[in-house]
Amino acid sequence: MITLGELAKRLGVHVTGDADCEIFRVATLVNAGEGDIAFLHDSKYRHLIGKTSASAIIVDEIFSADLHTNGIVVKNSHIAFAQVVDWLNPVEPKEGGVHPNAIIDPESKIHPDVYVGPQCVVEAGAEIAAGCELGPGCIIGENVSIGEGSKLVANVTLCHDVKIGSRVILHPGVVIGADGFGLTNDDGRWIKVPQVGSVIIGDDVEIGANSTVDRGAIEDTIIGQGVKLDNLIQIGHNVQIGENTAIAACTAIAGSAQIGKQCAIGGCVGIVGHLEITDNVTITGMSHVSQPITKPGVYSSGTPLEEKNKWHRNFVRLKQLDDMARRLKKIEKQTARDDSGKNK
């Protein structure tokens, strides 16, 4: 429990209403009740502010006039709410120690306060810094290094020579440093090209469940500081992702693509290899990126969902576009000749 006044103090703002109001939980405007705090950030939910049963509401400054109950007015309620969620739901770090079912190579270096869970394997040359947590079933390969305060939730695999920064969170099933898709064709037969690079993950990175980051073919795959990756994302070998870029689920980035800083990439986006995307680019979901993006901005591709029969008609017309363009060009040339003859 925390009072509304204490929350406001931590956020550096003032309280509207009762500062002694007790807050126990966070909730949505629709489902909140006594002891709950909710937030309003999107104008389409503005009508709910007078209907909610929440004990308090965090609102953006533009909605301050609508606040007729206990609350806090801030510049960005979504950010403030995230902080409040964290304060009301603290996660206690696990006490350091190695589970008896873990397998630890004597040539590894593990700080005494690191937690190593059951069925973990830590191989020779691995170095794990203070404050780290290795959940059950994690595999730490040879010569891997993990920075301070990083957390591997469960069944995470870090292949040999991978470098993980500080305060990194890797969710269940993440694989870092598996071989990239390096193949060459020898007269119809695919030959594997050894992948001798590694992966470097910067500080404060979070990678969602069952996502993979392949090791570089020669040089390293690099994930910059503050990058956030959702679940089920594939990062190919030698990809570079700039600082504070966020990528939604099921996106696939082919080898050697370079993604800039402060980008936002939607779900199910496909990015072709060996191209460059500059800083501050937003790519909407289901887009296919086959050309470099050199200017900041918002980019989209793909066809929105339509009723089936209309889609079929449009698809038929799409296939006819090339023929229609040729006929139109022919008509334009003929018209130009006719006009030229008339002018004479």
Query: Strand 189-192 to strand 212-214: parallel, antiparallel, or no bridges (unpaired)?
Result: unpaired
Active-site residues: which are they?
A: 237
C-alpha dihedral (216, 220, 226, 228), degrees to nearest 10: 0
pLDDT for residue 44: 94
Residue 124 · residue 142 · CB < 8 Å? yes
Residue-wise pLDDT for 103-134, tens only, equals 999 999 999 999 999 999 999 999 999 999 99
List strand residue ranges (DSSP E) for 137-219, in order: 139-140, 145-146, 151-152, 157-158, 163-164, 169-170, 175-178, 183-186, 189-192, 199-201, 206-207, 212-214
pLDDT for residue 340: 73
- Region of 47 (left: φ > 0; alpha: ψ -120 to 50; beta: rest) is alpha
pLDDT for residue 343: 64
Residue-wise pLDDT for 30-59, tens only, equals 999 999 999 999 999 999 999 999 999 999
Buried (b) or exposed (e) across 186-198, using 16+ Cβ within 10 A?
eeeeeeeeebebb
Question: What Cα–Cα distance (Å) separates residue 153 from each residue in 19, 116, 133, 147?
Answer: 38, 11, 8, 15
Taking the C-alpha atoms of residue 57 and residue 28, their distance in angstroms, rounded to an integer, is 10
Relative orientation angle of helices 4-11 and 77-88, to the nearest 10 degrees: 120
Its pTM stands at 0.90
pLDDT for residue 191: 97
Spans in the chain with pLDDT lower than 70? 341-344
Query: Strand 22-23 to strand 2-3: parallel, antiparallel, or no bridges (unpaired)?
Result: antiparallel
Taking the C-alpha atoms of residue 18 and residue 131, their distance in angstroms, rounded to an integer, is 39
- Region of 238 (left: φ > 0; alpha: ψ -120 to 50; beta: rest) is left
